[in-house]
Amino acid sequence: MKLQKPKGTQDILPGQSEKWQYVENVARETFKKYNYGEIRTPLFEHYEVISRSVGDTTDIVTKEMYDFYDKGDRHITLRPEGTAPVVRSYVENKLFAPEVQKPVKMYYIGSMFRYERPQAGRLREFHQVGVECFGSSNPATDVETIAMAYQLFTELGIKDVTLHLNSLGNTESRLAYRQALINYLTPLRDSLSKDSQRRLDENPLRVLDSKEKEDKVAVENAPSILDYLDEDSQTHFDAVRSMLEVLNIPYVIDTNMVRGLDYYNHTIFEFITKVDKSELTICAGGRYDGLVEYFDGPTTPGFGFGLGLERLLLILEKQGIELPLEPSLDVYLAVLGDKANSKALELVQAIRHQGFSAERDYLERKIKAQFKSADYFKAKMIITLGESEIEAGQVTLKNNKTRQEITVGFEEINSNFAEIFKTLV
Ligand code: ATP
Ligand code: MG
């Protein structure tokens, strides 16, 4: 049997993983500037943590869940997204308790799982970085969180991302709009896709989100939710818009964007970019003021986003953005003859303990082959160690670029390698 990875998954190999680490580090550093701390929740959750909070009628829950019954007959699902698990954890660990910590800001980086049809930028195991902020209903929080994602794109050098913005208002506004949308869509029912006919009964706002052509045509002249915002919702949305303008963050209003999850209210947003002429969302999020209460916590406003790392890396590649990754090794130790084996071990360890990266030959190869390895690993310095060097108690160190050489005793390498390295490299 030929063993292969499951459909829709990826091995992230050395050579690629450096890019992942780089992007993740930039994200961590950016989030730190906004006073975020990291949270790590389990890769799997009780099915109910996801199902009702994300929404019983959403694609994620109805079609895309990796759920199963474990040996104890518990209904479990691999997590398809990060917000519901973080809210579950926030309530379970009573992170709301101390007032001094407010707002509580947390980010996560990790795998998510959705049973989808794999294609470019769409996998079954994918990775998100996401953030959640609890305890502030201030529109400045909405704007600051959006600005944080925007700063991340800027720091990575990503161009041409467009911020799409909409408001779902509060519950009252949404109910009024829901009825208006039903009134508009009902006469068009037969022209809708099968899925959207079902959505019209179960969750009509979802029709706006459909990617089917016939649905897109049908909703073209749909009423706008922004015409149904009550005073509170309007005030919040106006404040968000004006603060985005204060920060010079360009945006477009997209009234047909409703997001694929049920827990949102007020501000929702997506960052969209073009890849090969088709639009791809890299980052999406919004406000979820009712979610903590839904998990039996105290009334607590929330705001967050999720950002797809595969899509982010895809965009970096498509936009030809070179990440500042210079793979290199400080030292390669060429080893000649069996008698040098143990001394070689001693020397590379001494070098590593003084903070430098070092590799050596383990395979008793010819010297030429060892120098080839040194070049392959982009070694900055080559040290050659053979029997005569051991007898003399000293080795020759060569700058692998300038070919400049110096000879030093073992003692100096053991005690003062930093100094030697600085003079030669
Ligand atoms: P889409 O409309 O593209 O299916 P979504 O609305 O389902 O996206 P969210 O649940 O908002 O996506 O997830 C946030 C981000 O996670 C997306 O913007 C995207 O970058 C990423 N993402 C979602 N699903 C996948 C997937 N199957 N593979 C890779 N990345 C994904
Ligand atoms: Mg989706």
pLDDT at 11: 98
Write down the architecture of domain 17-170+230-318 according to CATH: 2-Layer Sandwich (3.30)
Q: Probe ligand 1: pick from 281, 287, 316, max atoms within 8 Å of CB?
A: 281
Looking from the CA of residue 311, the nearest atom of ligand 1 is 20
365 close to ligand 1 (CB < 6 Angstrom)? no
Residue type, 326: E
Contacts of 125 (CB under 8 A, 6+ apart): 6, 8, 9, 10, 111, 112, 113
Contact predicate 64/100, CB 8 Å: no
pLDDT at 23: 98
SS3 of the chain: CCCCCCCCCCCCCCCCHHHHHHHHHHHHHHHHHCCCEECCCCCEEEHHHHHHHHCCCCHHHHHCCCEEECCCCCEEEECCCCHHHHHHHHHHCCCCCCHHHCCEEEEEEEEEECCCCCECCECCEEEEEEEEEECCCCHHHHHHHHHHHHHHHHHHCCCCCEEEEEECCCHHHHHHHHHHHHHHHHHHHHHCCHHHHHHHHHCHHHHHHCCCHHHHHHCCCCCCHHHHCCHHHHHHHHHHHHHHHHCCCCEEECCCCCCCCCCCEEEEEEEEEEECCEEEEEEEEEECCCHHHHCCCCCCCEEEEEEEHHHHHHHHHHCCCCCCCCCCEEEEEEECCHHHHHHHHHHHHHHHHCCCCEEECCCCCCHHHHHHHHHHCCEEEEEEECHHHHHHCEEEEEECCCCCEEEEEHHHHHHHHHHHHHHHC
Q: Which ligand is nearest to the CA of 50?
A: 1
pLDDT at 241: 98
Contact predicate 11/17, CB 8 Å: no
Is the N-terminal amide bond of 80 cis, ω within 30° of 0?
Answer: no
CA 308 to ligand 1 centroid distance, Å: 6
Looking from the CA of residue 123, the nearest atom of ligand 1 is 28
Looking from the CA of residue 282, the nearest atom of ligand 1 is 20
The CATH homologous superfamily to which domain 331-424 belongs is Anticodon-binding domain (3.40.50.800)
Reported as a single tens digit per residue, the pLDDT across 197-256 is 999 998 899 999 888 999 999 999 999 999 999 999 999 999 999 999 999 999 999 998
Q: Tell me the C-alpha distance between 384 and 333, whole Å.
A: 6
131 close to ligand 1 (CB < 6 Angstrom)? no
384 close to ligand 1 (CB < 6 Angstrom)? no
pLDDT at 97: 74
Low-confidence ranges of the chain (pLDDT < 50): none
Packed helices 231-246 and 139-156: angle between N→C axes, nearest 10 degrees: 30
Domain ranges of the chain: 17-170+230-318, 331-424
Reported as a single tens digit per residue, the pLDDT across 252-283 is 999 989 887 788 999 999 999 988 888 899 99
